[in-house]
Chains A and B, each alone.
Chain A
C-alpha cells in the first residue's frame, strides 16, 4: 500500500471515529436539558444550570484562574498514574508469569483495592505532610492495584500452546513480542489503564481538597466555603471534560488500534 493511500485511509478512519462521537454528544446534550430542568426546579443557589455553569467556567478561563489549577492537578494525577501504571504493570506481568507469585499477590491486591483512598490519604498526610507528594502518593496507591491486577490477568491467561508453537518455529523475539505477547496483554492492560485514569482524576481532586492549597481540589474547597455552587460545578465540568477528552481522543483510538486483531476476520 502506498504511503499516500494509507494516509488517506488513516484520515478516513479518524474522521469516521470522530464522527461516530455525535451519538455520545446527543446523549450528553439531553443530559444538559435534564440538568437545566433540575436547576429550574431547585433554583440557582442549589443547582445552577449548564448555561450558568459554562458561563462561570469560561469566566474562570478568561480571568486566568482555571488553567494553572488544572495544570497543577493534571501534573499530580499524571505523576501518580504514571508511577502506578509503570510499577503496577511491571510487577503484575512478573506475577502473572509465576503461579506462586500470583497466588501470593491475589489477597494483597484484594486488600489494596478494598482500602478506601480516603484512608490512604490520611496516612499520606501523616507521612508526607501538605505538599505535592501527598496527592501523588494517594493517586499512585489507588491506581497501582488496578494496573497490577490487569497485567497479572493478562500474563496468566497467555496461551501457552501458542507460545510453544512460536518457540518451535523459532520466531524471532521481536515477532514473538509484537505479534503474540503484546496484542494479548494490551487487551487486558488497556481497560485496566482506562479505569486507572478515571480513578486518578477522582482521587487527585479529593486529595487536593483536603491537603493542598492549589489545584482543582483546593479551588473546589474555596468555592464550597464561599457557597459558590456555580464555580464548584464549573470545576467539576472542567475535570470531567478533560477526562472525557483524554479517554476518547487518546486512549480509545489507541485501544481500537491495538485490539484490531480481535474483530478482524482470520485469513
Chain B
C-alpha cells in the first residue's frame, strides 16, 4: 500500500488496519449506529433524552436508521463487493477515511440541528449526507459502468435513487412538505436494493461457493440454486409500484392492494430458493428468512391499509428491523469475514443472534396490532433492546476481524488463502 500524505496521517499511511478494506469502517459504524440509535430512540420515547432536532424525534429515528445505519451497511457492502464483482482495485484509504468522516459528521449535523438557528436547520445535515452519496457514487459508478456487460450497474442506480430520495426528504422537511412520505418511499427502495444485493450474494452462499478453497470443506461445482431474473424483476416492479402508490395515495385501500401484490411477488420469488437440502445452512436460511420478512411485512401493511386491526408501522418494521436488519447481519457475517481473510463463523452465537433479531422484529410488529396495543410501549422496549443487543453482539464477536490487522499475511480485501495457494496482494477474486 503506497503512503499518501495528508491529514490523519496514521490512518492514511496504513497504520490503522480499520481502513484496509471498505467493509471495515462501515460495518463498525453499522453495528455501532444500530446500538446507539435504537437506545437513544427508546430513551427519547420515554422523554429521558431531549429531542430538539427539527421535525421531532420520530423523523430523526426514521431518517437516521435508514440513512445512517442502512447507508453505512450499503457503503460497506458496495465498497467491498463492487470491486470484487467488477475485478477492479479496492478503494483507496484516503477515500475510505473521507467517507467515514462524512458519515460521522452527517449524523452529528442532524442530532445537533436543534442547537443552531432554525433558518439553517437540517441543511448542513443534507449537504453532508449528499456529499457522502457523491463520494460513494464516485467509487461505484466508474467500476460498474466500465465492467463487461454492465451487469452490476443496478447498484449505481439504486444508490443514486436513494440519494435523490434523501434529497427529497430534506427538501420536504425544509419546505414544510411531508418528509415522512419520502422516508417510506426510501424503505421501498432499500427493499429493492436488498433483493439486488441478495441475488448476487445468495448464488455463492446457497451453492456453497463462498468458501471455495476451504481446506476442510468438500468442494462442489454443482449449482443447485439460480437467482433467475424474471421473478426477481416482478418482485422489484411490484415493490416500486407499492412505494409509488403509497407516496401518491398514502394510507389507502389502493395502496393496500399493491402492498399485498408485493407480498405475493416476494413469496413468488421464494420459488427459486426451494431447492431442498442446500437451503439448510445458517447463511442461506438467513437470506431466505429476510425474503420471508419482506413478504410478511408487505402483507401486514397491505392488511392494515385494507382495514385489518393493526398499524401499518407493524409491517414496516418487519421490513426494516426484520428484513433489513437480518440481511445486513447476514451480509456482514459473510462479507465481513471472507474479506478479512477468515473463513465463515461457525460458532453457535451466530444462529442464536439471527433468531433473536427475527424475534425482535416480530415483537415490534406485534406491538402495532390492536390486540397488543395495551402493551405497546413494553413490547417496543423489549424489541428495541433485543435488536440493539444483537448488533452489540455482532461488534463484540467480530471486533478483531473488523478493526485488527489480518492474520493471514495478506492485504486489503483479499479472500482467505485456498488450500495450497500462495500469498497474493489486493482483491484476489
Contacts and interface: CB of A to CB of B under 8 A. Distances in A.
Contacts of A36: 253-254, 257
A19 B231 CA distance: 13
B306 A26 contact: no
Chain A residues touching B, range: 10 to 19
Nearest to A22: B268
Contact of A26 (B234, B245, B253, B254): B234
A27 B260 CA distance: 10
Interface in B204-260: 231, 234, 238, 241, 245, 253-255, 257-258, 260
Considering residues A20, A27, A30, A40, which has the most beta carbons from chain B within 10 angstroms of its beta carbon?
A30
Interface in B360-382: none
A50 B253 CA distance: 10
B211 to A, nearest CB: 28
Contacts of B265: 22-23, 26
A29 B260 contact: yes
A49 interface: yes
B271 interface: yes
A198 to B, nearest CB: 24
B261 A37 contact: no
Contacts of B257: 29-30, 32-33, 36, 50
Contacts of A16: 271, 274
Contacts of A25: 261, 264, 267-268
Contacts of B271: 16, 19-20, 22-23
A49 B257 CA distance: 11
B167 interface: no
Given A16-B274, A51-B306, A22 B267 contact: yes
Given A16-B274, A29-B258, A22 B253 contact: no
Interface string A26-48: 11011011001100100000000
B253 A30 contact: no
Contact of B234 (A20, A23, A37, A40): A23
B261 A33 contact: yes
Contacts of B260: 29, 32
B150 to A, nearest CB: 27
Interface string B15-50: 000000000000000000000000000000000000
Contacts of A49: 253
B270 interface: yes
A40 B256 CA distance: 14
Interface string A1-31: 0000000000000001001101101110110
A26 B264 CA distance: 5
A131 to B, nearest CB: 42
Nearest to A36: B254
Nearest to A32: B257
Nearest to A23: B268
Interface string B276-298: 00000000000000000000000
Contacts of A33: 241, 245, 254-255, 257-258, 261
Contacts of B234: 23, 26
B267 A30 contact: no
Contacts of B268: 20, 22-23, 25-26
Candidate in A29, A30, A33, A37 with the most chain B CB atoms within 10 angstroms: A33
Given A22-B267, A37-B254, A50-B257, A30 B238 contact: yes
Nearest to A49: B253
A205 B63 CA distance: 55
Contacts of B254: 33, 36-37, 40
Contacts of A29: 257-258, 260-261, 264
Nearest to B269: A22
A81 B358 CA distance: 52
A49 B252 CA distance: 13
Nearest to B276: A12
B274 A27 contact: no
Nearest to B306: A51
A23 B245 CA distance: 20
Contacts of B274: 16, 19
Interface string A151-178: 0000000000000000000000000000
A26 B261 contact: yes
Given A16-B271, A30-B257, A33-B254, A22 B306 contact: no
Contact of A27 (B261, B267, B270): B261
A34 B267 CA distance: 21
Contacts of B255: 33
A20 B264 CA distance: 10
Given A19-B267, A26-B265, A29-B260, A51 B238 contact: no
Nearest to A51: B253
Contacts of B258: 29-30, 33
A22 B260 CA distance: 11
A20 B267 CA distance: 9
Interface in B279-334: 306-307
A133 B262 CA distance: 46
B231 A30 contact: no
Contacts of B253: 36, 49, 51
A33 B241 CA distance: 10
Nearest to A16: B274
A28 to B, nearest CB: 8
A19 B267 CA distance: 8
A26 B261 CA distance: 4
Contacts of A22: 264-265, 267-268, 270-271
A29 to B, nearest CB: 4
A25 B260 CA distance: 9
A51 B262 CA distance: 18
19 contacts: A16-B271, A19-B271, A20-B271, A22-B264, A23-B234, A23-B264, A25-B261, A25-B268, A26-B238, A26-B261, A29-B257, A29-B258, A29-B261, A30-B241, A30-B258, A32-B261, A33-B255, A33-B261, A40-B254
8 A-B pairs with the lowest CB-CB distances in the bound complex, closest first: A22-B268, A29-B261, A33-B257, A26-B264, A26-B265, A25-B264, A23-B268, A22-B267
Given A22-B270, A26-B264, A30-B241, 14 more contacts: A22-B271, A23-B265, A25-B264, A27-B261, A29-B260, A29-B264, A30-B257, A30-B261, A33-B245, A36-B253, A36-B254, A36-B257, A40-B254, A50-B257
